[in-house]
Amino acid sequence: MENLKYPKSYKCVCGREAKLYLINITTKFKDTYITVVNVPTYECLSNHVKMAQLTRVKIKQLLKEAYNQNLKIIEYID
């Protein structure tokens, strides 16, 4: 499923093309590790990784939500 909020690629600050990857991020939240699945991130060939500010905010919300529901894994959804 294509998400138009996240273009497939954009030009990185270094001038190379940064491509969209959906990755899983595991973070410690309070006393537990929670994995957020399919997080949109961008990475160029020079390994510059970039995540939108909106994505970071959303991850925090999802971690809280997962923690409250006692989930170890939660899918990234906008």
Closer residue to Zn ion, CB minimum distance, 44 or 59 = 44
Distance of CA 4 to the CA centre of its chain: 15
Q: CB 42 → Zn ion: shortest distance, Å?
A: 9
Closer residue to Zn ion, CB minimum distance, 44 or 63 = 44
- Sign of the C-alpha dihedral computed for residues 68, 70, 72 and 74 taken in this order: negative
Closer residue to Zn ion, CB minimum distance, 14 or 22 = 14
Chain contacts with Zn ion (rule: CB under 5 A): 12, 14, 16, 44, 46, 48
